[in-house]
Amino acid sequence: MASKKFTEEEMNHLRASSYVLGVSPSIVHFTAEFKKKFWEGVFANRVGGYPLFE
């Protein structure tokens, strides 16, 4: 795992997302809707509209 901590600015940016339940300096908690869309993308071999493997 990375040892990087989020800055206050980064945490505020993440908190603005409707897919984020909560943020601490070291952890982001995502909504169930985000997790569902993420895994659907993984199984479709893409995430964020981009292929995972080419």
- In-domain check, residue 15: yes
Are 51 and 45 in contact by the 8 Å Cβ rule? The answer is yes
Q: DSSP code of 49?
A: T
Report the number of distinct structural domains present in the chain: 1
Establish if 12 belongs to a structural domain: yes
Of 16, 35, 14, the C-alpha closest to 6 is 14
d(CA 13, CA 23): 10
User: Is 40 part of a structural domain of the chain?
Assistant: yes
Does residue 2 form part of some domain? no
Q: 20 pLDDT exceeds 80?
A: yes
Condensed to tens digits (0 to 9), the pLDDT of residues 27-41 reads: 999 999 999 888 887
The tokens for 43 are 């199984």
pLDDT of 10 > 60? The answer is: yes
Place of tokens 């893409």: 46
Report, as an integer, the average pLDDT of 13-36: 95
| 19 belongs to a structural domain | yes
Q: Average pLDDT, whole number, for the chain?
A: 85
> Domain range for residue 29?
8-47
Does residue 3 sit within a domain? Answer: no
